Amino acid sequence: MRRALLAAACGAAVSTAARRVARFRPPELVPDPPELEGLDAEAAAGRLAELVRIPTISSREPADIDEAAFARFRERLTGLYPQTHRVLEREVLGNGALLYRWAGGTDAPPMVLMAHYDVVPVAGQNWSRDPFSGSIEDGVVHGRGAIDDKGALVAILEAVESLVAAGFTPARDVYLSFGNDEEVAGVGAPLAVGALTGRGARPWAVLDEGGAVVSGVFPGVSRPAAVVGLAEKGLLDIELITTDPGGHASAPVRGGAPARLARAILRIDEHPFPARLHDVVLGMVDALGRYAPAGYRAVFAHAGYLRPVLAAVLSRASREANALVRTTVAITRLEGSPAANVLATRASAHANIRIALGETVESTVERLRRVIDDPGVELRVVSGNDPSPVSRADNEAFALLSAAVRSVYPDAAVAPYVMVQASDARHFSQVCDSVYRFMPFDLTREELATLHAADERISVAALHRGAGFYRYLIRHL
């Protein structure tokens, strides 16, 4: 009798699992046609190239900023997009953040489209051409900022310019928030949030840079994946500091400041933060796993029951996948003695930490103290913020964004994900529950690898599709 009951139970479990896998299929959706009317791909590429040639390089040191370049960029926008500047209200916030308002036909809560026009430095990088040449070769725009983030800024303005020229009025107000200091975690975005809050405008949705349309990033899924960030990891900068009396290098002591610092760094490296599958990452598995072959689908269909196993698998799949499932620590700077023959009286290391959803600055620092296990190593928090709230994926805003993606990338599977970098969008989370992080460009692995690195570039075709994405988004608000 007992054996019969066990057999029946096993049979029922297998039957339930089989039904779950059978239902674990992609949704049947018919994409709308793309909104490319009035968009000129070559002209847009030329305008992006011209803006790339203006070296709007960010710096935390005010003396190192070429303010004339930033002013020239803002002025050139008015010439490149005359219809936009004729109809939209524009104000300059702080030292150069731009906020445009396109009045809509109703008093419904506004949409905010974001980008930033400052770029990271190019010093020390091995570029194959002038990083600010803005050259267009073989259907590709080259130069610093082509993707991050002047490409998105141009795609937004191309869409707006074409719609304004056609006499279109959006159903709700549309704000364009273009930051001038995103790369240095500046004040442009907080000023924009303050400006909207001051006029009682609580956004319906916000869209900033983030994920993109990529291929070959998810096990077993060959089709393109449009990954939309619902949240971003927290950012924490910490200095690890050890001290000693010092002395002449001819008479060193064991366990000096550099040795103790090195021991602390090794302990951090040898004891990574635990890998966990957050609900957002589980949502990504659910959305993309439906497009996998049968064997993979059998696993992904039961992802909710296999969280620890999938977290472990993703942590070993790639650097990018590992960053999705755990808090990461990168040692980016080391300092010791200022002289070759003098013992260090102070040794320090800078740790750049990206905090996983579900953890905090406080819990992260506490765990580092336990792992280092040395009261002689001081942990000094330079700056830090907790992970952002998770935005909704069950509302009209996310549905519209998904439809806009499918209109220009009909083969793409839309999926939520966690943005592992920091963006200006996090500041809008305090006033909106629908803050998304997505660049509407299909990018190869090689192109993604150029972000903040040498030979940054974007194809003219991807830029054109990006403008079509924003045009669809605005027309269907």
CATH number for position 52? 3.40.630.10
Q: Is residue 207 within 8 Å of residue 405, measured between CB atoms? A: no
Cβ within 8 Å of residue 253, ≥6 positions away: 244, 247, 343
What's phi and psi for 261, nearest 5 deg?
-65, -45
- Whether 204 and 243 map to the same domain: the answer is no
Q: pTM value? A: 0.91
Average pLDDT, the chain: 92
- Whether 377 and 435 map to the same domain: the answer is no
Domain assignment of residue 351, yes or no: yes
Q: What letter represents residue 87's amino acid?
A: V
**Element (H or E) spanning 84, and its range?**
helix 82-87
pLDDT for 13-45, tens place per residue? 445 556 667 777 777 778 888 889 899 999 999
| Separation between Cα atoms, residue 345 and residue 195, nearest integer Å | 48
Domain assignment of residue 101, yes or no: yes
What's phi and psi for 381, nearest 5 deg?
-75, 120
- Whether 240 and 303 map to the same domain: the answer is yes
The strand ranges marked E within 218-277 are 225-232, 234-243, 247-248
Which residues of the chain, if any, have pLDDT below 50?
Answer: 4-14
How much is the pLDDT for 10? 45
Q: ∠ at Cα 52 (438, 178), nearest 5°? A: 45
- Whether 244 and 359 map to the same domain: the answer is yes
Residue range(s) defining the domain that contains residue 314: 232-385
DSSP assigned state of 199: T
Q: Is residue 378 within 8 Å of residue 244, measured between CB atoms? A: no
- Whether 155 and 280 map to the same domain: the answer is no
Question: Domain containing 356 — which CATH number?
Answer: 3.30.70.360
How much is the pLDDT for 6? 44
Give CA 66 to chain center in angstroms.
26
* Bridge partners for 477 per DSSP: none
Domain assignment of residue 25, yes or no: no
Question: Could you confirm whether 149 is annotated as catalytic?
Answer: no
Q: Which of 182, 359, 447, 456 is catalytic?
A: 182
- Whether 238 and 257 map to the same domain: the answer is yes
How much is the pLDDT for 203? 97
**Number of independent structural domains in the chain:** 2
Domain assignment of residue 317, yes or no: yes
* b/e sequence 175-204, b meaning 16+ C-beta within 10 Å: bbbbbbbbbebbbbbbbbbebbeeeebebb
pLDDT for 254-280, tens place per residue? 889 999 999 999 999 999 999 999 999
Q: What is the SS3 assignment for 435?
A: strand
Domain assignment of residue 85, yes or no: yes
| Separation between Cα atoms, residue 155 and residue 435, nearest integer Å | 19
| Separation between Cα atoms, residue 194 and residue 48, nearest integer Å | 29
Q: What letter represents residue 451's amino acid?
A: L
Give pairs for 327-334: CB < 8 Å, separation 24+: 327/233, 327/273, 327/353, 327/354, 327/355, 327/356, 327/359, 327/364, 328/272, 328/273, 328/353, 328/354, 328/420, 329/268, 329/269, 329/272, 329/273, 329/353, 329/368, 331/265, 331/268, 334/261
How much is the pLDDT for 20? 63
Domain assignment of residue 170, yes or no: yes
How much is the pLDDT for 352? 96
Q: Which of 118, 149, 447, 455 is catalytic?
A: 118
Q: Is residue 214 within 8 Å of residue 436, measured between CB atoms? A: no
**Element (H or E) spanning 259, and its range?**
helix 257-270
Structure tokens at 69: 């370049």
The length of the chain is 477
How much is the pLDDT for 18? 60
What's phi and psi for 286, nearest 5 deg?
-65, -45
How much is the pLDDT for 17? 58
Q: What is the SS3 assignment for 355?
A: strand
Domain assignment of residue 33, yes or no: no
- Whether 290 and 422 map to the same domain: the answer is no
- Whether 446 and 318 map to the same domain: the answer is no
- Whether 269 and 344 map to the same domain: the answer is yes
HSE of 453, CA atoms in CB hemisphere, 13 A:
6
Question: Could you confirm whether 91 is annotated as catalytic?
Answer: no
Domain assignment of residue 29, yes or no: no
Among residues 378, 303, 350, 361, the alpha carbon closest in space to that of 327 is found at 361
- Whether 221 and 366 map to the same domain: the answer is no
| Separation between Cα atoms, residue 246 and residue 253, nearest integer Å | 9
Compute the 3-state secondary structure of the chain and give helix, strand, coil in percent, each to the nearest 5: 40, 20, 40
How much is the pLDDT for 145? 97
Give pairs for 41-45: CB < 8 Å, separation 24+: 41/460, 41/461, 41/463, 41/464, 42/460, 44/154, 44/155, 44/158, 44/460, 44/463, 44/464, 44/467, 45/136, 45/141, 45/460, 45/463
How much is the pLDDT for 120? 95
- Whether 210 and 239 map to the same domain: the answer is no
How much is the pLDDT for 3? 54
- Whether 223 and 262 map to the same domain: the answer is no
* b/e sequence 381-398, b meaning 16+ C-beta within 10 Å: eeebbbbbbbbbbeeebb
